[in-house]
Structure 1
Amino acid sequence: VPTLVMPFLQWCEETKYGHVSCPPPAPLTCMCQIPARNVRVLAVYRECIKEHNLMYCNCQPLLLTLLGLGLFPGSPVRPTFTFDINHLLWASTFFLNGIPNVTAWTSALTAYLAQKGYDVPSLESLRKPFSKALQYFQLTQQRSNELMCTVVEAYR
């Protein structure tokens, strides 16, 4: 999570905290001389599910590539599911003001996406990655806020 704080703050700045779409990612320019790897991830948005085939390497880690697309991983290592950061922001706000029931949330999301005609993974296969993504996302948000408070205090 600590490595995600600065890229997350960069995403916040570039998208005005989710109000503007992410700019298209720059093509992978590898400096580490290690062949790039390809990974297939399912990106879960509030309105759809999309499959992404992404390239990454040691100098451009997968987590940074995902954040550049406005996605947050369901696992810090080899994620198969990713979630739209705006969706996680909405869920975080909802859970602050209501009962944090991840099972009900993912059940409603899978039912909604299935009604829209998407080939939705099973509830159980989506629940755990969503729960982990939300947990890591909230921790990243907290660490980002702490960093910003530290910077502001240093300049007072």
Structure 2
Amino acid sequence: RKHAQAHRWSSTVLPSLMRPFMAFKRQGVRPTTSTSTGCSPCSCPYVRTLQVVCVFMDYLQDITLAVCQCRPAATQLIQHGVFPCAPVWPSLAVSLDMLEFVAELFVHVAPNERAWAATLEKYLNVRGYQFAAKDSLRRRFANALSHYQMLVRLVDIEISKIVD
């Protein structure tokens, strides 16, 4: 399962997120406070509603997505300023700003996703936000951070090709 998920990330999801991610960065858009996407209806035969918990530095926010073939969850989440923890049906997404901060932090100190996630979880718990399972945030945060960093590298490579 992990191998299939890693393949899906690298072959399908990350390449499809490059343009939305670059648009997000170019526009300087900050995460939305809307709890639904407000997308216009499409003609896809199967539309599924997906609830996603979005993790920001000082709060959690539930958003509802209408997911279909032409509007994948990952793309919609990037447009909301968050990065999915799973390639197709994510239950959690992490703020792009937070991921950028942590990636930069880990350049200057020894990477420790467990400590970061435990600190963030405690910080949010004090503010009244709870996670359902122990270590739930750590595993999903680590997954989001890893794939976010891959996306940033892909975008950097693409920009280098254009500039050169």
User: TM-score, with normalisation over the residues of structure 1?
Assistant: 0.88
- Contact conserved, 2:17 with 2:75, CA < 8 A, in 1? yes
Q: Tell me the CA shift for residue 31 of structure 1.
A: 3.5
Letter in 1 for 2:118: S
Separation (CA, whole Å) in 2 of partners of 1:22 and 1:45 = 9
Q: Sequence identity of aligned pairs in percent? A: 26
Select 1:62's aligned residue among 69, 73, 76.
73
Corresponding pairs, count:
149
Q: Tell me the CA shift for residue 27 of structure 1.
A: 2.8
Separation (CA, whole Å) in 1 of partners of 2:95 and 2:144 = 10
User: What do the CA deviations read for 1:81-116 (whole angstroms, capped 9, x no partner)?
Assistant: 100000000000001111110000000000111111
Partner of 2:26: 13
> Per the alignment, in what secondary structure is the counterpart of residue 83 of structure 1?
strand
Partner of 1:139: 150
Segments of 5+ residues of structure 1 without an aligned counterpart are none
- Contact conserved, 1:38 with 1:55, CA < 8 A, in 2? yes
Paired residues for 1:4-83 under 5 Å: 4-15=17-28, 20-22=29-31, 27-83=38-94
Q: Tell me the CA shift for residue 121 of structure 1.
A: 3.7
Partner of 2:5: none
Segments of 5+ residues of structure 2 without an aligned counterpart are 1-13
Q: CA RMSD in A?
A: 1.7
Partner of 2:7: none
Q: Tell me the CA shift for residue 120 of structure 1.
A: 3.0
